[in-house]
Amino acid sequence: MAHRRLAEALLHSRGAAGEGRPGPGAPGAAEEGRGRGRRPGAEVAPPPPTPTLRRGRLALSAPRRAPLSRHDASGIFSLAFAPGGCLLAAGFGNGAVQVADAATGAPGASFLSSSSSSSFPGRRARQAATAVAFHRAEPAGLLLLLAAGADGAVTAYDLLGRRPVASLTEEENEIHALDFCRDGTAFATAGKDRHVRLYDGHTLRLLQVIEAPDFFMAGDDFTPLSGHSRRIFALRFHPTELHLFLTGGWDNSVKVWDKRVPKGARSVIGGPHICGPGIDVKGDLVLTGSWVPRNALQLWDLRTSRLWQNLPFPGSRTQGEFLYSAQFCAEDMVLAGGSGTCGATILHTGTGQTVGEIPLKPNKPVHVVAAAAAPGGFSVAVAGAGGNLQLAELH
């Protein structure tokens, strides 16, 4: 039944997009040119202009805190921009999931089924929502959101119908990472049990399990190309090579997989100690953010698995770098943050110069960063302990 409901939601989203108009409650339901994600007829004042921090040809707008006070005490553990950068989803430590306008940070109340709550129904508010991802179903790509949690559950939300439409549970697992293949046909999860699971993106049916090695049974069959030996915290599909994805975790390795091959990694990058969403990939470069005091931010050659560059993340001598999250953003730019500096930094990979910084409250670590192309530049989000969510634009 859940499989059929998700398929019906996908067909609904395609139908609405095919008619050239968004459905009720969808982003852009108001007239074109009158703002993103606003209800028809609602008058929304434009946000006040913010000063910019300029570095050469680029400018980072002054960060501003998003008004998500309802869940502040729980902390934010996951972020995802919708394709186009107009919407932002956040997953909280109490299991709540919320969508906000990426430009203003205003909670997306028009997408909720209950006026008394700013979180989606359908989640058990007990354990953290550790991963969120917008469905990349063609042609709309903005209407379905998946959220995974430390309770092992994955829930699909229909943003048109403002309701959960399907769910699944990975028994005895804590899911730490989820990502979609860029064509939306499949997504993968990974976490505490070290297995990688691939699902059909249209039905949520389990397609394949890349099993972690059993150390008592593997014997001489265990190799670096076997699965992870400790829990997995990051998973990222390649943006253009649709069959490739990468995983990383506590075992000081990043493994490159081909989803067409049922067993064995294609290659292994040794060294990165991944403790959060600290992996990204673009072209032949892999970006890693490790929870280590020095040389935490690194670029690797995807083809050879060799270190390409140590990036000079500005950590303090006493606190160290200790990165949880890292992502490519604008061309030749990377965004990263963690517990060492209690803030995020945008760096230029060519010069090593700091383009801009986005601090959180004093002594509040960054759990997750996100960036996405948006009209006029890139949208940037940084979140962490205490429910801190800071937004900025890179022009």
- The enclosing domain of 316 has a CATH number of 2.130.10.10
In a domain, 42, yes or no: no
In a domain, 43, yes or no: no
């560059």: which residue's tokens?
309
Q: What is the pLDDT of residue 50?
A: 38
Tell how strand 131-134 and strand 97-101 pair up: unpaired
Task: Give buried/exposed letters for 249-281 (b at 16+ CB in 10 A, else e).
Answer: bbbbbbbbbebeeeeebebebebbbbbbbbbbb
Question: Which structural domain range is residue 181 located in?
Answer: 2-26+59-394
Cα–Cα dist 381/71, whole Å: 17
Average pLDDT, the chain: 80
In a domain, 165, yes or no: yes
In a domain, 349, yes or no: yes
**Run of H or E residues at 217:** helix 215-218
Task: Tell which residue, 233, 167, 166, 250, has the closest CA to residue 196.
Answer: 233
Q: Look up the pTM and report it.
A: 0.83
**Least confident range of 71-75, 85-89, 259-263, 377-381:** 71-75
3-state DSSP helix/strand/coil % of the chain, to nearest 5: 10, 40, 50
pLDDT tens for 2-24 read 555 566 655 554 544 444 333 33
Q: What are phi and psi of 89, to 5 degrees?
A: -105, 140
Residues 44-70: what's their mean pLDDT? 58
Helices then strands, counting H and E runs in the chain, come out as 2, 29
DSSP at 239: S
Q: How distant, in Å, are the alpha carbons of 139, 280, 295 from that of 132? A: 20, 16, 28
Strand arrangement of the beta sheet that strand 244-249 belongs to = 232-237, 244-249, 253-258, 267-270
pLDDT tens for 195-219 read 999 999 989 999 999 998 886 555 5
Domains: count for the chain: 1
Residues 36-56: what's their mean pLDDT? 37
Quick count: other Cβ atoms within 10 Å of Cβ 46? Answer: 8
Q: What is the dihedral of CA 234, 85, 200, 108, to 10 degrees?
A: 100
Q: For the chain, report the end-to-end CA distance as a whole number of angstroms.
A: 45
Q: What is the pLDDT of residue 197?
A: 97
pLDDT tens for 140-192 read 544 789 999 999 999 998 877 777 888 999 999 999 999 999 999 999 999 99
In a domain, 34, yes or no: no
DSSP at 351: T
Beta bridge partners of 336: 326, 345
